[in-house]
């Protein structure tokens, strides 16, 4: 069993990406146990011109012209050749033993289909005191020091999103190939995800749910630790309110696609009234966190008005 490490990047900040690459250089797992694939998702400056991957003999930099994280993910899986896919974002340096631990986990737990772990945030500036209320949307998560595994019983139907679903996903390649087959036939799934600077999301949630509903186990393992670099602009009211809106809107869509939405569709004609009531409920004028939560509620309403 070997690993395929895939980094998807669109116009990345090179100082961050180089930290990610440095973290991969320092992995305790021997480099002959993993390949390195960088998917350049149509960056303005081709990454082949600025990255030196010569330190790893089994490396590729591949251009995926179709913009969107999911398209880059799919391309990376298709180009990979090993049993386990380790996705690494362009701002998430890994702890030195991440790859070694991921391999051990899969070798010890054959029922697993996708795994993830613990986020350690690196704030470029001192964060505001209220930021921890929005850690989830910033992909900052710590579920404790014990592993958590969730798997459906035979003939059991999923009724909710698994609480241990990975943030930085590390799936089996066989699971991703099955997901790709589903994805390429689903217009709803294809409507999810980020494209360029758009903050819409949902593609990884879709992957998690598909693998879970296919009978594989999902797992959280605290030894899979990675950093997430958080620049100052991502801690601003403007960014977080936009992020909350987009994420809640796509969250509704993902749950609806998989038939586990706890909410009912709402009429588009009621949106203005719902948003006005939410403005009062959240006291959106009183503080930055209140305003951000209100924008999240607006995204939820928008999503509920668009589901079928």
Q: Is residue 251 part of a domain?
A: no
Show the tokens assigned to 3: 């690993």
Residue 307: what pLDDT?
A: 87
pTM over 0.85: yes
Domain that holds residue 272: 257-306
Q: Is residue 241 part of a domain?
A: no
Q: pLDDT tens across 122-136, in order? A: 999 999 999 999 999
Residue 194: what pLDDT?
A: 60
- The number of folded domains in the chain is 2
* Average pLDDT for 155-164: 93
Q: Is residue 240 part of a domain?
A: no
Note whether 178 and 48 are same-domain residues: yes
| Predicted confidence (pLDDT) at residue 201 exceeds the cutoff of 80 | no
Q: Is residue 243 part of a domain?
A: no
Note whether 152 and 269 are same-domain residues: no
Q: Is residue 235 part of a domain?
A: no
Q: Is residue 248 part of a domain?
A: no
Q: pLDDT tens across 212-266, in order? A: 999 999 999 999 999 999 999 999 999 999 999 999 999 999 999 999 999 999 9
State how far the Cα of 119 lies from the Cα of 167, in Å rounded to an integer. 9
Q: Which residues contact 173 (CB under 8 A, 6 or more apart)?
A: 4, 77, 80, 82, 83, 84, 85
> Which percentage of the chain shows pLDDT scores above 90?
90
**Helical H segments across the chain, by residue range:** 14-25, 69-79, 98-108, 173-183, 187-190, 203-213, 237-257, 271-281, 288-306
CATH of the domain at 76: 3.90.550.10
Residue 201: how many other CB atoms lie within 10 Å:
22
Local confidence band at 191 (pLDDT 50, 70, 90 cut-offs): confident
State how far the Cα of 206 lies from the Cα of 180, in Å rounded to an integer. 11
Q: pLDDT tens across 58-74, in order? A: 999 999 999 888 899 99
Q: Is residue 138 part of a domain?
A: yes
Q: Is residue 193 part of a domain?
A: yes
Note whether 214 and 263 are same-domain residues: no
Q: pLDDT tens across 284-294, in order? A: 999 999 999 99
Note whether 218 and 295 are same-domain residues: no
| Predicted confidence (pLDDT) at residue 22 exceeds the cutoff of 70 | yes
């Amino acid at each position: 069993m070997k690993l395929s490490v895939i980094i998807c990047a669109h116009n990345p900040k090179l100082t961050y990406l180089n930290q990610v690459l440095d973290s991969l250089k320092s992995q305790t797992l021997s480099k002959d146990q993993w390949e390195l694939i960088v998917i350049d998702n149509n960056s303005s400056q081709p990454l082949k011109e600025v990255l030196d991957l010569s330190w790893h003999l089994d490396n590729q930099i591949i251009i995926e012209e179709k913009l969107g994280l999911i398209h880059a993910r799919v391309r990376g899986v298709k180009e990979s050749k090993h049993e386990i896919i380790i996705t690494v974002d362009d701002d998430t340096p890994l702890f030195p033993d991440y790859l070694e631990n991921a391999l051990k986990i899969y070798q010890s737990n054959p029922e697993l289909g996708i795994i993830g772990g613990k986020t350690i945030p690196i704030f470029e500036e001192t964060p505001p005191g209220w930021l921890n209320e929005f850690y989830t949307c910033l992909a900052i998560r710590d579920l404790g020091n014990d592993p958590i595994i969730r798997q459906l019983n035979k003939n059991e139907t999923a009724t909710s999103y698994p609480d241990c679903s990975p943030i930085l996903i590390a799936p089996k390649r066989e699971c991703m190939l099955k997901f790709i087959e589903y994805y390429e036939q689903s217009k709803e799934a294809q409507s999810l995800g980020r494209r360029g600077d758009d903050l819409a999301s949902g593609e990884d949630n879709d992957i998690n749910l598909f693998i879970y509903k296919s009978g594989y186990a999902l797992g959280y393992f605290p030894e899979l630790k990675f950093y997430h670099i958080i620049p100052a602009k991502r801690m601003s009211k403007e960014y977080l309110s936009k992020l909350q809106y987009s994420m809640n809107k796509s969250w509704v869509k993902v749950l609806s696609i998989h038939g586990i939405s706890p909410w009912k569709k709402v009429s588009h004609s009621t949106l203005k009234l719902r948003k006005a009531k939410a403005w009062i409920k959240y006291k959106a004028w009183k503080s930055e966190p209140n305003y951000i939560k209100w924008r999240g509620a607006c995204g939820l309403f928008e999503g509920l008005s668009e589901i079928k």
